[in-house]
Amino acid sequence: MNGMTQTRQILIVEDIAPMRRTLAERAAAIFGVTHVDEADSLISARAWLRYERRIEQPLIALIDLGLPDGSGVELIGQLATDSNATCIVTTIFEDDGNVMRALGAGAEGYLLKGEDMAAIEERLRGLERGEVAVSPQIARRLLEHFRIPPLAPPDTDVSLTQRETDVLRVIGRGLTLAEAGHALEISAQTVGTHVKNIYRKLNIASRAEAAIEAAKRGLV
Amino acid sequence: MLKGLSRRPSHAFAALALLAGVVLALAILAVARIPAASVTVRPMPGNMVRVEGAGLYAPDDSIALLDARDRVLFSTRTDMLVLEKDGSGTAVQNQAYYAARDAITRLAHVPGTRIRLPDGRLLPFHAIPGRLSDVTAGAWLSLAIGLCALLAGSWALVLRPGETAPRLFLASGVALAVATITIAMSEHMSLAAPAALQFWTLRVNMLSAIGFGMSLVALFARYPQPLASWRLLAGITLACLGILLASLFDVLVNVAEFTGVIFLLGVAAVALAVTQGWKSRHDPAQRAAFVLIGSSLLVCIVGFSATNLVPQMMGRLDVPSVPLATSLFLLFYLALAIAIARYRLFDLGSWAVRVALLALVVLIVLALDIVLVFLTGANWTLSTAFLLIAVAWLPVREYLLRRIDGRRSRQDIQLLRGASDVAFALHPEQQAAQWRALLNRQFAPLTQEPENEATETNIADDGRVLVVPSPLGRPGLALHFADHGRRLFHSEDKALAEGLVMLVREMVAARSAYDRGVQTERQRIARDLHDDVGSRLMTTLHREDIGSVHADVREAMAEMRLIIDGMAGQSRALAHVLADIRHETVNRLSLARIVTDWPVLEVFDDERPLPAAQSRVLVSVVRELVSNTIRHAGAAEVRVTCAVEGDDLSLSLYDDGHGFNGTCEAPTGNGLRNMTKRLEEAGGSFQLRSGPTGTLAAIRLPLGAGHASHALGMATAPVTGLASSG
């Protein structure tokens, strides 16, 4: 089905059809592809991953959390092993609990479906430029999370660097990425890189925690 | 009860106790005045006679009393000097005994009299005046028992005035007191004491024993249920007295054999008591009383056997004195007093059973030992001390075990569960049903009846009824007969019921507070949905421009989000609220290609809590202002400043757009009115100034909770208003 000229895959997992179609349309335009794959449930998304996913191609997956047959977090967790995939969670509200869970599962950013189309397009473009979404709420949550030393084994370094802590602190006060870069005398892009690293650490930490928890309960 | 109070029970008891004390004090003085003799003669096995300090003689050996010049004044058989011979023979023999006894006593008061023993030895024979310090321990013990009997009788009568049972009981107490006085006197009886005193002491002792036996027979024949008519009892009493009178003058029966009558009365009393116990087995209170009486009786019999009868059977003569055996009887007597006075019957009931079991164990040990001794011919091994230790230790052990066990209350969880079932039942009717079920589970009463007057937990009717007030503001309940009538309610049940009532009351209070909170929250959500989301969607209905519709829907969604956030109702730090507002504002304005200048100053570090209601107002007002700016102002830059001034937050938003004419006829007039209203409700203010070079909006919002008018408006907002207006 995919055009042979296409160099990357885009997957939209969303159960509300008009939203899915709009997202697919905009993503195709912004990411410069002719075809965008769509899935309306966990089952169809997993089927796509099994039969359609080309592992050699980069993948951008926009994944909704509240799917009819389960949570998109499971899908994000599954895709975390795919080093060529970028998961973005789509959510109506910036509910930090949901977004944090998705980030912990391996999502590299989030997209607010409740915003107007211009804002969504802007976010997608930012994603294309390597920008990253972060809100003050999430920054404060992350700070809180890493303040308590994670339950990870000592060889995996999941604690924040001083710079990362500074970034979160500034964003937590309401500054945008650009303003944060200005305040910290670094580029906005560097700030974005720091945030991405922090998201990755959150994923590593939560995986380690899950493993330790499983070992504790005798599941492993 | 009122009658008892009007008589002042404590005063009545004090008077009776004083009287008893005086009588017993006089009795002690009388006992002390009995003179002792220099020669004591005791009976020995095989009818032999022992003269203390001399030797053993046959009963018919000749003995003589001599004067200072060795003249024989009186001559008789040795057994005539034995006090215990009193009344043991025929009428003629008794008369001869008292004649001899009289002559001997008279000579004891003649100076220089000596006794010549059958072997020819001479002993000086004279009276020794009695002194208070010489009163023997046995006599003291007897009199103490007498005093206790009188006190117990008085106590029962004072607690239950005007009833037959306590009167009969006091009568038996008086008889027992008289008996103990005579026992104390016979302890001091000597050859120097007047023969008439000995004669009357013995007869009064018999009389009081008959009286005691008769009053117990009458008591058990009438209490608690009448088993014999008063006429029959009076007939038996008269017959006893007739026999006694006849015996006094040795006309009919030998005095010693008369003890048989007393024994018969005792057997009759026990038989009647057992019958009463059997008849009252279906009434928990009476059954508890008879468990108490019966077990104490058993303890008495066992104790008496162990200390008195068995050693005698084993051929030992140094048995504990009569007073010691009588003291065991006092135990039964006190149990009877408790049963009649109905004092803490229900608490003592369980103990009585344990003590009775203990007595049975001791009885079995005794019986086994007797069998062993008979089979092997070995010596008697069980000492009284051993038995006493067993009797004393086992109850202590029982008590300790119960104490330790009592701490591990396994029922607590069940109780909590039951109480929460009551508190969280859906309807008042279900609550009441759960409460009744909880009481049923806990106490298993035979019946539960409404009790309107119940204001506090109480045990009524001697433990048959437990009155429990309702923790649900309903009529209380009277529980009849605990454990399906198997036992009485006791003080632990009362404490448990009180605890349950308190627990359920607190849980119900907590639940209704929670319900009120839920109700208030529901009203708030309804009002907010109506005011914010509803009115915005209503406006959208009348819009033609699809872009505006989209904007409206998004704003309605954002409002919904705020409402959901506010559900937690928790205050957040001012700094965090401002950071989130700034983030949203900057993002929105930048999408609209408007530059934001909002310096992050010290207020962004202000961690003081902002109530949820205030932060909601702040967020939606700033959002509305930014929307207006994006839609209408045509501005290139927005400048925002915020600072805390006193207890207020002041925030101003200036855009460099084209402004409007300052009236409220701007396209978003509705929104402006709404903002003003919300800020005023929150205790703040809103000002808007506009000119050709821009618009300045100034907000002032108190950081504390909103105005009273706001809270009032919230509480009275119609829940169903959403559908009816807008």
Which residue does chain A place closest to B597, by CA atoms? A179
Q: Which pLDDT band, with edges at 50, 70 and 90, does B711 fall under? A: very low
Instruction: Check A176 against B576: CB less than 8 A apart.
Output: no
Interchain CB distance below 8 Å, A174 and B590: no
**pLDDT of res. A62:** 93
The whole-angstrom separation of Cα B700 and Cα B646 is 11
Asked if B433 and B425 count as a contact pair (C-beta separation under 8 A), the reply is yes
3-state DSSP assignment of residue B50: strand
Distance from C-alpha of B619 to C-alpha of B679, rounded to nearest angstrom: 11
- Tell me the pLDDT band of B582, cut-offs 50, 70 and 90: very high
Please indicate if any CB of chain A lies within 8 Å of the CB of B608.
no
User: Average pLDDT in the B688-695 region?
Assistant: 83
* B604/A173 Cβ within 8 A: yes
Cβ neighbours of residue B677 closer than 8 Å, sequence gap 6 or more: none
Which one of B546, B550, B564, B587 makes the best mutation probe of the A interface by having the most chain A beta carbons within 10 Å? B587
CA-to-CA distance for B642 and A80, rounded, in angstroms?
43
Chain B contact probe: residue of A93, A143, A177, A195 with most B CBs at under 10 A: A93
Q: Which pLDDT score, from 0 to 100, does residue B725 have?
A: 35
> Which of the four pLDDT bands, split at 50, 70 and 90, describes residue B714?
very low
**Model pLDDT, residue B408:** 47
pLDDT tens for B278-317 read: 887 777 667 777 777 766 666 666 666 665 555 555 554 4
pLDDT class of B4 with cuts at 50, 70, 90: very low
Q: Which one, of B472, B548, B456, B537, lies nearest residue B504 by Cα?
A: B472
Closest chain A residue to B576, measured at CA: A173
Burial B281-291 (b: 16+ CB within 10 A, else e): eebbbbbbbbb
Question: Any idea how long chain B is?
Answer: 726
**Nearest-by-CA chain A residue for B591:** A119
Q: How do residues B507-530 score in pLDDT, each as one tens digit?
A: 888 888 888 888 887 887 787 787
Q: How far, in whole angstroms, is CA B494 from its chain's centroid?
A: 7
Q: Which residues contact B358 (CB under 8 A, 6 or more apart)?
A: B299, B391, B394, B395
Distance CA(B699)–CA(B686), nearest Å, equals 5
CA distance B636 to B589: 9
Q: What would the pLDDT profile of A148-181 be if each residue is shown by its tens digit?
A: 665 555 556 678 888 888 999 999 888 988 889 9
How close A112 gets to chain B, by Cα (Å)?
A: 11
Residue B41: strand pairing partners: B51
Rounded to the nearest angstrom, the minimum Cα separation between A115 and chain B is 7
Q: Are A132 and A109 in contact (CB under 8 A)?
A: yes
Least confident range from A128-142, B322-336, B397-411: namely: B397-411
User: Is pLDDT above 70 for B705?
Assistant: no
Residues 556-595 of B with CB under 8 A from A: 557-558, 561, 564, 575-576, 578-583, 586-588, 590-591
Out of B551, B579, B591, closest to residue A136 by CB: B579
Helix H or strand E segment including B447: strand B447-451
pTM of the model: 0.48
The answer on pLDDT for B22 being more than 90 is yes
**Mean pLDDT over each residue of chain B, to the nearest integer:** 78
Backbone angles phi, psi at B373, to 5 degrees: -60, -45
A172/B583 Cβ within 8 A: no
- Which of A116, A136, A173 shows the shortest C-beta gap to B551? A116
Q: Answer whether A137 sits within 8 Å of B591, measured CB to CB.
A: no
Residue A198, min C-alpha distance to chain B (Å)? 20
Cβ atoms B59, B65 nearer than 8 A: no
State how beta strands B127-128 and B36-37 pair: antiparallel
Whether B238 contacts chain A with CB within 8 A: no
Whether A114 sits inside 8 A of B551 (CB atoms) is no
**pLDDT by residue (tens digit) across B438-485?**
898 888 888 888 888 778 888 888 788 899 998 888 889 999 888 877
Q: What is the CA radius of gyration of chain B?
A: 49
Contact status, residue A203 vs residue A105, Cβ threshold 8 Å? yes
> How many angstroms separate the CA atoms of B555 and B534, rounded?
11
Q: Does the beta-carbon distance from A116 to B600 stay under 8 Å?
A: no
Q: Give the per-residue pLDDT at B709.
A: 37
Q: Distance (Å) from the C-alpha of residue A9 to the closest C-alpha of chain B?
A: 28
Q: Which residues of B touch A174 (CB under 8 A)?
A: 578-583, 586, 600, 604
Whether residue B551 is predicted with pLDDT greater than 70 in this model: the reply is yes
pLDDT digits (tens, 9 = 90+) for A99-117: 888 888 888 888 888 777 8
Of B188 and B563, which is predicted with more confidence?
B188
Task: Give yes or no for residue A140 having a pLDDT over 90.
Answer: no
CB contact under 8 A, A174 and B581: yes
Yes or no, beta carbons of A114 and B558 under 8 Å apart:
yes
**CB of B38 closer than 8 Å to CB of B125:** yes
Q: How far apart are CA B115 and CA B142, in angstroms?
A: 32
